[in-house]
Amino acid sequence: MTTTRHLISVDDLTDGDIHRLAARGVRFREGTAAAGTPLAGHLAGIYFRKTSTRTRTAFTAGALRLGAQTIAYGPDDLQTNTGETVEDTAQVFGRMLDVLVARTAGDPAELRAFAAGNRMSVINAMSAPEHPTQALTDLTTLLWHFGHVDGLRVLYVGEGNNTAAALALALSRYRSAHLDLRTPPGYGLTGEVLARIDPKVVTERHDMKDLPEGVDVIYTTRWQTTGTSKPDANWRNIFAPFQVTADLWRGSPDAVFMHDLPAHRGEEVTAEVLDGPRSIAFDQAENKLHSAMAVLEWCRGADPAP
């Protein structure tokens, strides 16, 4: 019988799953994963209600490379727009698709409803509270670049959005990693996420004072997260001190720069940093493909045995 696993939250993964998925992403990146088309005969629905360059392309390309075929759905394509329920849509999808990759940018309960029949794997390509496939990409990138994730010190500067939430949840599975979040006041991790992270691994402040020195990674995200708007008209003033500039490298000259992209040069990060020699942001973007392939394999039980 075919395996049907879902990835809707980082919390759907065991520690072993997380470590293996990151390692598998590195193998795809390095070209050392076994060749073949383990998903031949599979059909993947790629449903994006919000804009995407990387995640949509990564999962489409990844599914095709693994031998699956894909059907793309945009925001105006499904009868949910005319009142059909998600539950009914899920029943239909489950009888025709093997995998549904969905970016709703909304409540993950909708993704759980798609997954309820357990007839197809559902992958969260970004919901409002969490972006779990971004976190797996980020772990893949850390493992690929440093050779390990344990022991790494990451300074994250920017909004406590779905990328930050997923990263905090994922790094919490590495007991000797440390994630120092500097989030603008009023734009930090939600209480719901804070209750799920390991406080020994993840700390959060809402200022840029006393920054740690000797960190391995400085990470930021764009100020306007896809599919969201900010309630405070003065939000740019609140975010301004949290711009990532070359000054941040004074205490951490060896740190690499990561960004989930898309970027707005001159807002969350200067062009000098994003396009500079310490930036691995576009390697990180490439790793979305390798990580997506690892996730697709795992969801269908086509991953190598542990």
Residues forming the site for ligand CP (CB under 6 A): 52-56, 126, 134, 226, 260-262
Q: Which residues contact 268 (CB under 8 A, 6 or more apart)?
A: 158, 220, 221, 222, 223, 239, 242, 243, 244, 259
Nearer to ligand CP, 16 or 282 (CB): 282
- Rounded least distance, CB 152 to ligand CP, Å: 20
Least separation, in Å, of the C-beta of 39 and ligand CP? 21
Strand order in the sheet with 178-182: 202-205, 178-182, 153-157, 217-220, 256-259
Of 178 and 222, which CB lies nearer to ligand CP in the complex structure? 222
CB of 58 to ligand CP, least distance (A): 8
Does residue 13 contact residue 40 with C-beta atoms inside 8 Å?
A: no
Give the residue with the Cβ less far from ligand CP, 134 or 141.
Answer: 134
Q: What's the Cα-to-Cα distance from 18 to each of 51, 140, 173, rounded to whole Å?
A: 27, 10, 8
Burial of 53 (0-12, 13-18, 19+ CB in 10 A): exposed
Provide, rounded to whole angstroms, the least separation between the CB of residue 104 and ligand CP.
Answer: 13
Residue 92: CB partners within 8 Å, gap ≥ 6? none
**Of the two residues 97 and 263, which places its CB atom closer to ligand CP in the complex?**
263
Task: Please identify, using beta-carbon distances, which residue of 42 and 56 lies nearer to ligand CP.
Answer: 56
> How many whole angstroms separate alpha carbon 198 and alpha carbon 6?
23
Least distance from ligand CP to the Cβ atom of residue 111, Å: 16
User: What distance in Å separates the CA atoms of residue 87 and residue 72, rounded to the nearest whole number?
Assistant: 20
Residue 169 or 211 with smaller CB distance to ligand CP: 169
Q: Which of 31, 34, 121 is nearest to 304 (CA)?
A: 34
Identity of the residue, 90 or 167, whose beta carbon is nearer to ligand CP in the bound complex: 167
Smallest gap, in angstroms, from Cβ of residue 197 to ligand CP?
21
Min separation Cβ 40 and ligand CP, Å: 26
